[in-house]
Amino acid sequence: MTISADPNTWPSGDPIWNIARAIAMAEGANVPGSNPDRLNNPGDISDGVQTFGAEFHSGSHVTHFPDKQTGWQWLYNKIQNAASGASSVFGPTMTWFQFGQHYAPPNWQVWASNVAAALGVDPNSTLAEYLSPGTAPANVADPSIDPTTAGGSGGGDILGILVVAGLAAWLVARLWS
Protein backbone atom coordinates (compact mmCIF):
# COMPACT_ATOMS: atom_id res chain seq x y z
CA MET A 1 0.00 0.00 0.00
CA THR A 2 1.22 3.49 -0.81
CA ILE A 3 1.65 5.87 2.13
CA SER A 4 -0.32 9.11 1.79
CA ALA A 5 -1.83 11.82 3.99
CA ASP A 6 -4.56 9.30 4.88
CA PRO A 7 -3.78 7.85 8.36
CA ASN A 8 -5.18 4.50 7.19
CA THR A 9 -2.09 4.17 4.97
CA TRP A 10 0.45 5.01 7.69
CA PRO A 11 2.84 2.40 9.09
CA SER A 12 1.75 0.61 12.25
CA GLY A 13 2.50 -2.52 14.20
CA ASP A 14 4.32 -1.62 17.41
CA PRO A 15 4.39 1.09 20.10
CA ILE A 16 7.11 3.07 18.30
CA TRP A 17 4.90 3.26 15.20
CA ASN A 18 2.01 4.35 17.44
CA ILE A 19 4.14 7.24 18.69
CA ALA A 20 5.20 8.08 15.13
CA ARG A 21 1.55 8.16 14.07
CA ALA A 22 0.62 10.40 17.01
CA ILE A 23 3.47 12.79 16.17
CA ALA A 24 2.49 12.81 12.49
CA MET A 25 -1.07 13.69 13.43
CA ALA A 26 0.14 16.49 15.74
CA GLU A 27 2.35 17.82 12.93
CA GLY A 28 -0.47 17.80 10.38
CA ALA A 29 0.79 15.00 8.14
CA ASN A 30 -2.85 13.99 7.66
CA VAL A 31 -3.59 17.25 5.82
CA PRO A 32 -3.02 16.89 2.05
CA GLY A 33 -0.57 19.55 0.85
CA SER A 34 0.69 20.40 4.36
CA ASN A 35 4.45 20.74 4.83
CA PRO A 36 4.77 17.26 6.42
CA ASP A 37 2.77 15.77 3.54
CA ARG A 38 4.49 17.73 0.78
CA LEU A 39 8.01 17.17 2.16
CA ASN A 40 7.41 13.43 2.81
CA ASN A 41 8.27 14.22 6.42
CA PRO A 42 5.49 13.12 8.80
CA GLY A 43 7.39 14.27 11.88
CA ASP A 44 8.41 17.62 10.41
CA ILE A 45 11.97 16.77 11.47
CA SER A 46 15.33 18.26 10.55
CA ASP A 47 17.20 14.97 10.73
CA GLY A 48 18.63 14.12 7.32
CA VAL A 49 19.07 17.69 6.08
CA GLN A 50 22.67 17.01 4.99
CA THR A 51 21.60 13.90 3.07
CA PHE A 52 18.31 14.96 1.52
CA GLY A 53 18.18 18.76 1.63
CA ALA A 54 15.61 20.92 3.35
CA GLU A 55 13.10 23.69 3.19
CA PHE A 56 12.96 26.48 5.75
CA HIS A 57 9.65 26.91 7.55
CA SER A 58 8.35 27.39 11.10
CA GLY A 59 11.76 28.57 12.25
CA SER A 60 13.84 25.59 11.16
CA HIS A 61 15.17 23.69 8.19
CA VAL A 62 12.83 20.74 7.63
CA THR A 63 14.12 17.75 5.69
CA HIS A 64 12.60 17.04 2.28
CA PHE A 65 12.68 13.26 2.13
CA PRO A 66 12.63 11.60 -1.31
CA ASP A 67 9.49 9.59 -0.47
CA LYS A 68 7.07 9.00 2.39
CA GLN A 69 8.51 5.60 3.31
CA THR A 70 11.93 7.18 3.94
CA GLY A 71 10.41 10.02 5.98
CA TRP A 72 8.43 7.59 8.14
CA GLN A 73 11.50 5.41 8.70
CA TRP A 74 13.58 8.42 9.82
CA LEU A 75 10.81 9.41 12.25
CA TYR A 76 10.66 5.84 13.58
CA ASN A 77 14.45 5.81 14.05
CA LYS A 78 14.33 9.16 15.89
CA ILE A 79 11.75 7.80 18.35
CA GLN A 80 13.62 4.49 18.72
CA ASN A 81 16.80 6.41 19.56
CA ALA A 82 14.91 8.38 22.22
CA ALA A 83 13.43 5.18 23.65
CA SER A 84 16.80 3.44 23.84
CA GLY A 85 18.66 6.43 25.29
CA ALA A 86 20.76 6.82 22.14
CA SER A 87 19.49 10.35 21.44
CA SER A 88 21.46 13.33 22.72
CA VAL A 89 18.25 15.40 22.95
CA PHE A 90 15.39 13.05 23.87
CA GLY A 91 15.32 10.36 26.52
CA PRO A 92 13.03 7.58 27.70
CA THR A 93 12.34 9.23 31.06
CA MET A 94 11.14 12.51 29.54
CA THR A 95 7.46 13.31 29.94
CA TRP A 96 5.50 14.14 26.82
CA PHE A 97 5.56 17.78 27.94
CA GLN A 98 9.37 17.67 28.21
CA PHE A 99 9.58 15.89 24.86
CA GLY A 100 7.40 18.60 23.32
CA GLN A 101 9.57 21.43 24.71
CA HIS A 102 12.42 20.18 22.54
CA TYR A 103 10.37 18.85 19.63
CA ALA A 104 7.83 21.58 19.01
CA PRO A 105 8.69 24.98 20.46
CA PRO A 106 6.96 27.38 20.90
CA ASN A 107 3.69 25.37 20.80
CA TRP A 108 5.02 22.48 22.85
CA GLN A 109 2.12 22.32 25.32
CA VAL A 110 -0.52 21.90 22.61
CA TRP A 111 1.74 19.52 20.69
CA ALA A 112 2.44 17.34 23.75
CA SER A 113 -1.22 17.30 24.74
CA ASN A 114 -2.22 16.22 21.22
CA VAL A 115 0.41 13.48 21.05
CA ALA A 116 -0.49 12.18 24.52
CA ALA A 117 -4.22 12.25 23.72
CA ALA A 118 -3.65 10.26 20.52
CA LEU A 119 -1.72 7.69 22.57
CA GLY A 120 -4.33 7.64 25.33
CA VAL A 121 -1.86 8.71 28.03
CA ASP A 122 -1.34 11.63 30.38
CA PRO A 123 1.10 14.24 29.01
CA ASN A 124 2.95 14.04 32.35
CA SER A 125 3.68 10.35 31.78
CA THR A 126 6.92 9.28 30.12
CA LEU A 127 7.97 7.62 26.92
CA ALA A 128 9.30 4.70 28.97
CA GLU A 129 5.95 4.29 30.74
CA TYR A 130 4.15 4.15 27.40
CA LEU A 131 6.59 1.56 26.06
CA SER A 132 6.46 -0.55 29.26
CA PRO A 133 2.79 -0.71 30.19
CA GLY A 134 3.56 -2.93 33.19
CA THR A 135 5.12 0.04 34.96
CA ALA A 136 2.25 2.21 36.08
CA PRO A 137 2.97 5.94 36.24
CA ALA A 138 2.44 7.62 39.60
CA ASN A 139 -0.66 9.46 38.35
CA VAL A 140 -2.63 6.30 37.55
CA ALA A 141 -5.49 5.60 39.95
CA ASP A 142 -4.93 2.82 42.47
CA PRO A 143 -7.46 0.09 41.55
CA SER A 144 -7.79 -0.90 45.21
CA ILE A 145 -9.37 2.49 46.02
CA ASP A 146 -13.13 2.79 45.52
CA PRO A 147 -13.52 5.92 43.34
CA THR A 148 -17.02 6.53 44.67
CA THR A 149 -15.74 7.04 48.22
CA ALA A 150 -12.21 8.39 47.71
CA GLY A 151 -11.52 12.08 48.28
CA GLY A 152 -13.18 14.75 50.36
CA SER A 153 -16.11 15.37 48.00
CA GLY A 154 -17.47 11.85 47.97
CA GLY A 155 -15.36 10.82 44.96
CA GLY A 156 -17.80 12.04 42.33
CA ASP A 157 -15.07 14.05 40.61
CA ILE A 158 -12.78 11.02 40.44
CA LEU A 159 -15.53 8.82 39.05
CA GLY A 160 -16.32 11.44 36.40
CA ILE A 161 -12.66 11.66 35.42
CA LEU A 162 -12.41 7.87 35.15
CA VAL A 163 -15.52 7.71 32.97
CA VAL A 164 -14.22 10.46 30.65
CA ALA A 165 -10.77 8.82 30.51
CA GLY A 166 -12.37 5.48 29.61
CA LEU A 167 -14.44 7.06 26.86
CA ALA A 168 -11.39 8.90 25.52
CA ALA A 169 -9.35 5.67 25.46
CA TRP A 170 -12.18 3.88 23.65
CA LEU A 171 -12.45 6.70 21.10
CA VAL A 172 -8.68 6.75 20.48
CA ALA A 173 -8.66 2.96 20.03
CA ARG A 174 -11.53 3.21 17.52
CA LEU A 175 -9.83 6.00 15.57
CA TRP A 176 -6.45 4.26 15.37
CA SER A 177 -7.71 0.76 14.56
pTM: 0.75
- Name the residue with higher pLDDT: 152 or 14: 14
17 in Cβ contact with 11 (< 8 Å): yes
62 close to 55: Cβ distance less than 8 angstroms: yes
At 119-169, the pLDDT tens digits run: 999 999 999 999 997 654 443 333 333 333 333 333 333 333 433 444 444
Q: What is the pLDDT of residue 1?
A: 75
Q: 160: exposed, middle or buried (C-beta count within 10 Å: 0-12, 13-18, 19+)?
A: exposed
pLDDT at 26: 97
Give the pLDDT score at 59. 83
Q: Break the chain into its structural domains and give their ranges.
A: 7-140, 144-177
